[in-house]
């Protein structure tokens, strides 16, 4: 990447840091609303993770705006740490539009669930509660795996590899992410 190409990262239009949550989503939407109407829109992020559904909302906004405004190119710049929900957000950018700064780490893991299921009442109601929980888990796995598919599209990483490594938190350094084809380049 030459000097002129690197210069586009100098003043990102959208700067986000911290937990991926509804407050970050508000900051994201506010900055997106005033981002340039054409050209490269750099979205810089550093996060230790957060809510994967908020990450998906921000990602869907990037996807939607990319589709309706061909004159805009949304580019992801990850700094220092892109963990969990941050990696989910990054997966909505095409591989050619993903960049990390030197030493940045991605972290990929499975979605987590913490709940208690109380089974009490008529047997048919008990079965319905168990089935509802199973449906929630199965749906969450499908959503998780869709995100994994987006992340690895165009890379040398297989879905089987992600599914094998994600349960134990897979940390990927920036140069390794480039070598695997998960990102375009390291700045």
Report the Cα 109 to chain-centroid distance in Å.
11
Q: In whole angstroms, what is the distance from residue 146 CA to residue 111 CA? A: 12
CATH of the domain at 15: 3.90.226.10
Q: Point out which residues pair with 78 in neighbouring strands.
A: 45, 100
Question: What value does the mean pLDDT of the chain take?
Answer: 94
In tens, the pLDDT along 66-116 reads: 999 889 999 999 999 999 999 999 999 999 999 999 999 999 999 888 888
At residue 140, what are phi and psi to the nearest 5 degrees?
Answer: -65, -35
Q: Point out which residues pair with 99 in neighbouring strands.
A: 77, 185
pLDDT score of 3? 65
Percentage of residues in the chain having pLDDT higher than 90: 85
Cβ atoms of 145 and 159 closer than 8 Å? yes
Q: In whole angstroms, what is the distance from residue 160 CA to residue 162 CA? A: 5
pLDDT score of 4? 67
Domain count, the chain: 1
Cβ atoms of 48 and 84 closer than 8 Å? yes
Residue 136: domain span: 3-186
Which helix or strand (DSSP H or E) is residue 161 part of?
Answer: helix 159-165
Look up the pTM and report it.
Answer: 0.92
At residue 15, what are phi and psi to the nearest 5 degrees?
Answer: -115, 120
Average pLDDT over residues 125-150: 93
If one counts every other C-beta atom within 10 angstroms of the C-beta of residue 90, the result is 29
């Amino acid at each position: 990447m030459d000097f002129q190409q690197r210069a586009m990262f100098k003043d990102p239009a959208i700067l986000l840091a911290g937990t991926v949550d509804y407050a970050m989503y508000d900051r994201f939407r506010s900055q997106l609303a005033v981002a340039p109407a054409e050209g490269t829109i750099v979205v810089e992020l550093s996060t230790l993770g957060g809510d994967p559904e908020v990450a998906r909302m921000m990602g869907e906004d990037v996807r939607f705006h990319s589709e309706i405004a061909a004159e805009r190119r949304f580019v992801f710049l990850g700094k220092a740490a892109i963990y969990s929900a941050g990696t989910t957000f990054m997966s909505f950018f095409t591989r050619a539009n993903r960049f990390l700064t030197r030493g940045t780490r991605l972290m990929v893991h499975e979605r987590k669930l913490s709940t208690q299921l109380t089974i009490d009442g008529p047997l048919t109601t008990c079965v319905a509660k168990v089935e509802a929980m199973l449906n929630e888990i199965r749906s969450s796995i499908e959503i998780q795996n869709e995100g994994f598919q987006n992340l690895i599209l165009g890379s040398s990483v297989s879905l089987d590899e992600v599914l094998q490594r994600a349960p134990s938190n897979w940390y990927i350094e920036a140069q390794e992410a480039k070598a695997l084809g998960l990102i375009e380049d390291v700045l």
